[in-house]
Structure 1
Amino acid sequence: MDLFAAMQTFVRVVEAGSFTRAAETLGSSRTRVTQQVQQLEAHLQVRLLNRTTRQVQVTADGAAYYDRCLGVLAAVDDAETGLSVATRTPRGRLRVDVPSPLARLILIPALPDFFERYPDIQLELGVSDRQVDLIGDNVDCVIRGGPIREQYLVARPLGALQLGCYAAPAYLAAQGVPVHPADLAETPHRVVRFLWGRGKGFPYALQRGAERLELQGRHSLEVDDGNACLAAGQAGLGVVCLPHYLAAEAVDRGELVRLFADWQVASLPLYLAFAPNRHVSAKLRVFIDWVTVVVAERAWLETPGER
C-alpha cells in the first residue's frame, strides 16, 4: 500500500462525502478508492468511515485522523514546493472555477502570461456560473460575482462589476422602448430572468436620485449562465441585465441597446474565495496574486460607448 496515496484518497472521500464522487475528482475508479481506504483501515487497525447504501460518515477516529492527514499533506506540499518557490517555479495541478463570461473575455485571453511565468502549473479551469462546492468538488479556489454565502470561505474582493439593462433593437421595435424601469412590469414587455444560487432570480436594484426600485417584469426564459443571458438579449427574447464588459461588444455591433442610462444598477461585487482549512500552496498563492492584478488592470467601471 502507498500510504501517502491512501491518505490523499481518504481525505478526498471525507470531503466529497462519497466514494463515487471522490473517485471522479481523483480521476480514479470507485473500486480503487474503496480498496485504498480499506487498506488504510487495515493498516491502522481502526474503522475510519461508516458506510451505508446512501452515505459515508466519518467515525470519531476518522475525524481525528482526517485532521492529522491535512497537516501531513500540507507539510509534504511545503517540502516539495519549497525548492520551487526559491526558484520562482511553483508547480502542480490547480483547480479553479470561474464564471463563463469572465473566463471567455478576461481570464483565458490573459493566461499566456500566467503560463509564461509559471510553466510548471497545470490549470484545471471549471467554466460555469453554477456555485460549486469547493470542498466536495475538490476545487482550490473560485471567482464569483455577488455575495459569498458560505460563511466558512475566505473571500478576497477583486472589484465590482458595473451593470446595465439592455435589449435588442428588434425587441424594442416590436415592443416599444421602455422609458422607466417600472414599464417592464407592463405588457408586452418581458425580461430574461437570471437564476442565482439555488434557482432564485437575482434581484437587480436600480436607483436614480431618491428613486429606488427592484427590476420587475414577466419572463418566459430563465438562465443560469452569463453568456446565455447575453445571447438571449441578442435574440430579442427580452430585456437583460448584464455587466457592461459583457455587453460591450454587442453594443458596438449594434446588437444591443442600453436602457435607462440615467439609472444606476447596483454593482455586483467580485470575489476570489477558497476554503480556510485548505493549505494555501505556492501555486495557489501565485494564482491569487496574478488574477488580482489581471482584474485590477481591467476597466470594470467602464460603460459601453464611453471608451
Structure 2
Amino acid sequence: MSIPSTPGKTGRERLAEVKELEARQAKQRRMLALVAGVVTIAVLGVAILWFVSQGNKKKESESAEQQARNSQFIKTLTTIPAATYDKVGFGAATGVPSATDGPQDKVGDKPRVLYVGAEFCPFCAVERWSLVSALSRFGTWDGLGGAVSSPNEGAMSNIQTVTFKDATYTSKYIAFKGWETKDRMGEPLQTMSDADSTLVSKYNDRGSIPFVLIGGKSTTQGATWDGRSLPGMTNTEIAEQMADPNSAISKGAVGAANVYSAQICTLTGQQPANVCNSAGVKAAAAKLEVK
C-alpha cells in the first residue's frame, strides 16, 4: 500500500494514520454486518411468527367449519322450554324494533318477517340465535343448518350459528324469508328478489346487516343482544346455555327472542295465545316502542 504524503509528518506518523483509518473502516464494516444480521433475524422472526399465526388461524377456521357440520344443537335451539322464556323476560336484550311508515308486508293473509344478512357477518351470527328461537314459537323449521362466521373478524371471529340459506319455515300465523347474501368468506351467495331489494333500500339505506323487517311495520338493524361471549364456544354449548335461564347467554339471546315474539304478536292478533300471553313475552312487550 502506498502511503499518501502529508506535509510536516514523518512516514511513521502517516503509516499510523492509515492503520487507524483502516481499523475504523473495519469496525464500521463489522457494525454494518452486525446490524444487517440483526435485521435479517428480526425479519425472519416476524415472518415465522406470521406463518405460525396464519397456520393456527387456518386450523381454528377448519375446526370451526367441522364443528358447524354438527346440527344436533338445532333441536335444543328450537325447543327452548316456555319456563326459560318466562324467567328471562326482557333479560339483557339491548335493542327493540323501530317503527316504519310503510304498508304491512304480508304473504297472503300472514304478516311476514324478512331477514337480510350474510354468513360471514359476526353480528348476523349472533342475531340468528334469537330470531330462530323466537320464530320457533310460531311455527316449524326445515333445512336449518349449522354455520360459522368469518375467521377474519378479530375477537369476533368463528362464531357458531345457523344459516338460513336452505331453510324453510311453516306457520299458520306468520311467514318468513331469510336471505344470506354472502358466504363465510364474503363471496356472493344468494341474490335477493327485486321486491325485497326495494324494501331493504327503503328501510335500510345504509345497508346494515343483520336487518330484520317485521311485517313491514318495524325493523331491527344490527344485533339486539351482546354476543361477545360466543367466540370459542361450540354450537351445542350456546344452545344449552340458551335453555338455561340463569346463564348470561340466555338472558341476552332469549331476552331478544322474547322481544321479537312480542313484536310479532302485535301483528298476529296476539296469537297463539300461549305465546303472546306468556309472562316472558308480556315483560318484553312492556319495553316495545311499536305496539
Could you say which TM-score interval applies, normalised by the shorter chain? Answer: under 0.3
Q: Which structure is higher in strand share?
A: 1
Q: Kindly name which structure, 1 or 2, has the bigger radius of gyration based on alpha carbons.
A: 2
Q: Which structure is higher in helix share?
A: 2
* More contact order relative to length (CA 8 Å, sep ≥ 6): 2
| TM-score computed with the length of structure 2 as normaliser | 0.24
| TM-score computed with the length of structure 1 as normaliser | 0.23
